[in-house]
């Protein structure tokens, strides 16, 4: 089996992988500070993937966390 050429289209399994966001990207999306997000991570309220010292947040996990933050209007 050979590796696909650099210009080849990605295979179906690669497109099924979750989109991973950096902490900086999540800060920009949510307008929250890194310390606020790190606190949510430390309290295990926001799921993360760790690659050594790097943190990545799956887009689906961010969406789920945001949905849990929603409060009904009074």
For the stretch 9-37, pLDDT in tens is: 556 666 789 999 999 999 999 999 999 99
> Do the beta carbons of residue 48 and residue 57 sit within 8 Å?
yes
Section 30-51 average pLDDT: 98
Q: How far apart are CA 10 and CA 57, in angstroms?
A: 22
- Per-residue pLDDT, averaged over 49-71, amounts to 96
The answer to whether the CB of 27 falls within 8 A of the CB of 34 is yes
- Residue 25 C-beta-side C-alpha neighbours within 13 Å: 10
Mean pLDDT confidence for 68-74? 91
Residue-level pLDDT at 61: 98
pTM over 0.85: no
Q: d(Cα 6, Cα 18) in Å, to the nearest integer? A: 21
Residue 15 is predicted with a pLDDT of 74
Beta bridge partners of 57: 21
């Amino acid at each position: 089996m050979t590796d696909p050429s650099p210009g080849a289209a990605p295979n179906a399994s690669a497109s099924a992988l979750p989109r991973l966001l950096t902490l900086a990207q999540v800060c920009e999306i949510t307008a929250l500070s890194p310390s606020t997000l790190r606190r949510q991570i430390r309290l295990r309220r926001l799921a993360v993937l760790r690659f050594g010292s790097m943190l990545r947040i799956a887009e689906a996990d961010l969406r789920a966390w945001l949905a849990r933050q929603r409060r009904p209007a009074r």
